[in-house]
Amino acid sequence: MRYLWAAVVVALGCLVTGPAHADVAPATTVAADGFSVLLGSPDAPVQLEIFCEPQCPVCAQFEDASGGALAHRIGNGELAVTYRWLTFLDQKRGTDKSDRIANALILAADPATPPVAYQGFVNEIYRQQDAHSPSPSAAELATMAARSGVGGMAIARIAIDLPAVDTAAMSSANMDRLKQVNPDNPGTPTVYDLGSHTVVDVQDGGWLDALFAS
């Protein structure tokens, strides 16, 4: 917790005095619609949209199986990912867990957060999916972000549970998009290939490699 508190103090100072490295090129950004997170180079040969719900157990299995490979491809500049977060399980379970995690995931989308670190934060959240009941605290989310290499200012914002997005509006907009690209089975996780305009079958463990072989 000492490391986390130090990171929060330093980063909160940046909120007042300005970032220490203003010339750092953006690497992880919130899209223009405010409801999705862009990772990787816009020139990457493979571009994917990934729809996930923070409490979805199948999403956790997907990230456990594919998160490392996604990070590797993103880090090599071969892959760009647009994450679209949904929070529909909050209504089914009577919690605000997905809302709070999705808000933290939007906060983590900061120019100082390398795309691989953002993917690492996603992986960590799913690894800890059942560890915090009913919901991880702001401090726990910030610790996960710090452990993953998320930017200091973003960690500070996560640590104080700063509102970043209307999560209901975000989930609604992302669900509309999900139904557009996958009308027959608008569930999570859904991976959509923006190049071929097709839903990717991720049941095969070699699905990501196959996209680069085609």
In sequence order, which residues have a C-beta less than 8 Å from that of residue 19 and are 6 or more positions away?
Answer: 112, 153
Q: What tokens appear for 68 in the block?
A: 């490392």
| Helices 115-127 and 57-75: angle between axes, nearest 10 degrees | 160
pLDDT per residue over 99-152, tens digit each? 999 999 999 999 999 999 999 999 999 999 887 778 899 999 999 999 999 999
Q: Is 115 exposed, middle or buried (0-12, 13-18, 19+ CB in 10 A)?
A: buried
Mean per-residue pLDDT for 42-48? 92
Answer whether residue 44 shows pLDDT above 50: yes
pLDDT per residue over 68-77, tens digit each? 999 999 999 9
Name the architecture of domain 27-211. 3-Layer(aba) Sandwich (3.40)
Distance between CA atoms of 39 and 105, rounded to whole angstroms?
12
pLDDT per residue over 6-34, tens digit each? 333 333 333 333 333 333 233 799 999 99
The structural domains of the chain, with segments of one domain joined by +, span 27-211
Give the pLDDT confidence score for residue 26 in this predicted structure: 33
> Three-state DSSP class for 29?
strand
Residue 112 and residue 22 in contact, taking contact as beta carbons nearer than 8 Å: no
